[in-house]
Structure 1
Amino acid sequence: MNLRTLIIEDNPADAELIQRLLKKAFGPVDSIVVANASELIKQIELFQPDIFISDNSLPRFSAAEALELVKEHAPHIPFILVTGTVSEEFAAEVIKSGADDYILKDRMARLPAAMEAAMLKRKAQREKEAYVQLLQQSQENLKTIFENTSEGFVLLDADLRVKKFNSRAGELLRLYIQKEMEVGQSILELTEESRRDSFAAVLHRVKQGEFVEYDRPVPAPSREDGWMHFFFNPVIQDNTVTGICITARDVTVSKRAELQLQQSAEENRALAGRVSAILNTLPANIALLDENGLIIDVNECWKKFAQQNGFKGMNYGIGENYLSVSEQAGMTDPESEAGSIARGIAGVLNGSLQEFVTEYACDSLQEKRWFRMIVTPLSEQLYRGAVVMHIDISEIKRLEQERLDGKMNEQNRIGRAMLKAQEKERTAIGIELHDNVNQILVGTNLLLSHAKGRPTDLSDLLTQSINNIQQAIRENRKIAHEFVAPDLETERLTDQLQMLFENMLRAAGIHVIIEKRDLDETLLDSDRKFNMYRIAQEQCTNILKYADATTVTIKLCSKEGFFRMSIADNGKGMNTGQTAKGIGLKNIRHRTALFNGTAEIRTGPGEGFELRIELPLVG
């Protein structure tokens, strides 16, 4: 960086002369020329010069005024006066006022050397002031630390007399010895008489240049006895021990805690042995996690299970993060079983869950297996984390499944028997209505028809009777058609469904579309066909009652081991909460459950209604 020079001069020729001289001596120089007080103050702030060079005689601004402004605004920057012939008294006064030097105009060649000397002098002054200030601050810091530390400090001279001590040392002495410490006093006078000889021996070792450190119990007449830690180090100057520095710290609290910890550790070791014996006899895989999910210990059952299942890794997983492993397993699908387990473990560790319990499948090559996982937080104050237990419930699951299968088979058998009985009853009713009631009505119709040729006053009555009887016949046939089950042993399901949709939907003016893709009826037994027919009949009734539809699409297929039937209308639809309460839907689901099938509904207000049936195929 170029030398920055601020020249105070009103004569441009003199200013240019100074600039040429500086350039010749220092190379490129940044300089600014000012001629009044306001410009001087402004450039001190903006230009930040390295040195001031001022003419002595300015018409409206004297060198003395310039020097005062420099001392006020830039006291550490050198100031050199350039003047004509002056007396020695004037020169002395200038230097005394604060100028670093003065140069006579007929000796300007001396200016560069005077500038270098002035800047070196000012730099040395600044460094000295900074050092003095730093030294003062350091002394103040040391004094503050010395007086405010929690440790007591005592400095002894070579004769073992107190040379200096801090307030904490006096406080500890009053607390345990009940004596006052004074400068010049022998440290042995402040020691209990019973310990004076041993203490003198310690001080003698330190005077030989040895460092000594120990803890000892100290009686306290005014309170419970305590413990003190002492550290003695020699003060060495010119390879000679000139004194001793004693550091004393009250360690009563930490010492008691240490003793309690030792006692607690012994108790915990005994307890850990008992707990370990219990955990190793439990028929469950148990791992202990720390608060971050890290496995810190496992029981013997865990290790045995790992060995039997080809575990590969170090120390049965101890040291691995169980939570991270669970989270990674559930990353592809957070709603999966692994994702649920990761959230459960995290919930117990962060305290949002008091316990997490789940059951999961873990099959081996030889058998199907089920486990119950229980995660509970550690309740001890010294430890934070969780205990993870995996209990094998495969046998329980197998027994439950066997009972469930038996119960379901029995319910299915009873349900099928009930349905067959109901259908037989309906068939009987239909035959009875058709063969008996309807024949009687037909006979009555014939008799009344013959009566038309008799007295004329009976004509209107006979005509109306004939109309009523004909209506009764139509209604009777309709009832018989609904109650009599179709013969699906010999007839095709698609044909019967075609007739059903013709009679119920097309007759009501609804457009019907039937799609039969990949349908093989030979894969359906008569029971399945019959129940599909009844489900279709039930849904047609629902459409006529509630849908207000103009088009119904029916899709039938049998592939991938399942029979599927979809009945969809373009009606007004309904809320899914309402569909769950319908008796018709309950009947449909009951019929599909008899064959381990499912019934699914897709609907919404203004979105139509679709019923999807799926049944496993025979064999």
Structure 2
Amino acid sequence: MHNSMQYPLTGIFPTLIDNLSEGIVYQNVSGEIIYANPAASKILKLTYDQLLGKTSVDSSWKTIREDYTAFPGIEHPAMLALKTGEVQKDIIMGITGITDNITWIKINSRPIVGENKTVEGVITSFAEITREINAVENLKKLQQNQDAILSNIQEGLCLLDKEYTVIIINNSAKNIYKKIFNHSLQSGEYLIKFFPPERHDFIRSNFERAFNGEFVEYEVMYKVEPDDIWLNVFLNPVFDATGKVIYVSVAINDITKRKYAETALLNSENRFRETLLQLGDNAWEHNFIKGVTTFSTGIEELVGYNGEKDLNRQKAWLDSIHEEDLWLVSGLTADYLSGKISSHSLEYRLKYKDGSIKWILDRGIVIERDANGKPVRAIGTRSDISERKRIEQEIIENERKFRGIFDSTFQFMGLMSVEGILLEANQTAVNFFNIPREEVIGMNFIDSKWFSEKTRNKAKTAVNKAAKGETVNFELELTLLDGRELVIDFSIRPIFDTSGKVILLIPEGRDMTEKIKMEKEIERQRLNRQREILNAGIEGQEKQRKEVSRELHDNINQILATIKVYLQLANENESLRYSLIQKSYENVSHAIEEVRKLSKTLAPPTLDNETLVEAIDQMTKDMALSMLFEISFNHKRLREELLNNAQKMTIYRIIQEQLVNIIKYSKAKKIDIMLSTAKNEVNLKIADNGIGFDSSLRTTGTGIRNMMNRVESHNGKFNITTSPGSGCCLEVSLPLTKI
């Protein structure tokens, strides 16, 4: 108790005010402080003597408003209350001290009016709300960091509830869905309605599996213009604290290229709502001798009985305590009387008549004891902290949502300081590197054991660039502790604050080892295929040369030799000269025809001046005349204009090759050729009624291999169906790529 103070209040209230946790000051009509309770000295960080005589306009005060602008002393709540005679309520003020740390307070000032209705002074109560202000700022920063991380994740991510409502979606997912639906998907929209009806059953069945706790992964293709899109989709269930699935995290990655080549911090308590009596605080006093608790005004509003007459406040309060929290307060009196406690601070729930819930912070302290040290009186306050609890729950929920997405990405990623210290890592990274999370957090990224000296310098350079605001992409070759040698596609992205300063870095990585191996294997197979085609071409040319040589020697050469003999005899025998010259003429014509046939087997000259159908028709007629079998050629469903020249030549050569094979080996009497176009391909079928062969015992000859290589060069399909005694059927299909 401060003896120099002349209290404007009497009775038990001076003692009660001195024991409040809220600051109380009394200023006279000149604005000078003539009383301050201990809480005021503690909050303002000034002694009682330093406070006495001070006014709001004292130059030593350094005060700011909630928006950090200057707060002049003449505009302080107490000065305005003295000047206007009006109550100033819930004014936020920041006070800077020697260390430049800001103490935030919420102020209520009420003028004291004398009997002549003039203002004689002002009483001001204030509660420190620094933790609340900082908590709100921290919540904003947390949300900004989370938004920044999600925006920088290259994998498409979104969070859905059981109704397929989008809760969270990052920019990558929006971009992917925009390509598919031509619509920028937003939070609050129903994802399933954008899919075509024929996909609904498939989507629902997979989501049901995820909501049953199963991790679901699948690949799906969407037909869009100009190119189809392939996605890898991973459904990751998100659980609450009880193990119940409450959301499904959807990670989507555009895997089109690969397919064509083969995802507030805890707040503190709220201030007292109002100062004792004059400022409407929910204060209480308990008399241990009488067993009676006396309440200040405002309790009616707190328990939801506002406006009711003759209210038993103590009973109303006890009846309002949530049945699950009664155990918290049921033993308080016994604990005080036994000496187990001398103060308390509890959080529990009140249940309104309409069933709604309010959270309460109940604090108290013993202020009077008897000669034996037993408590006689205790005082305290009860404050509504529902908003703080709501923010706490919101932070927990935000953290759960963020963690659900963060840990379900396919790529490993983390959060890193600008100095390269790892602050967080997702579960993918922990599992991949096989290092416990507690060892990862706090580790210097650059000093990681799996870096060689060369890769360490590369990583250090990347971190330095990112710390200066540059997004860095690079590849690293790592050797992990378990001996695995990997190639990692790394990127480091900076996160900026509102002033543009880099405050955090996001390292991301993907294991590219298998992809690189696959690309090398594909390239090796491609080269082998080219060699096979080249060798087959050379073999075909050699075979063709031998056949031409044989034909020239065995046929045309003999015809020319005969002509030479006829001409020699004609020169020597005049009587036979005419007939011999006539026979020589006939043989010359025959030789010319044989040369024409031979040249036709080397290249189809008619393709330059005739259609493919005409060239094939001529070839089949020629063979049918010289051989004892029947050939039919069906081309009614062919649209020849859809084929390019390379495809026409391939089809011609395959027919030519297969007819030669049939003549040599099949003993067939009938051959059917069918050539047609359907959808996006041209189809060829050649069937005979010959002796056939066992394809499981017979190796692929040069002729068949040539045909297969020709088809493969067009990315087509080749198949032969045959068995002994059942003839043979060759089928070829080439994709239509007219150029």
Same fold (TM over 0.5): no
Larger radius of gyration: 1
User: What TM-score do the two structures reach when normalised by structure 1?
Assistant: 0.33
Structure possessing the higher relative contact order (Cα contacts under 8 Å, 6 or more residues apart):
2
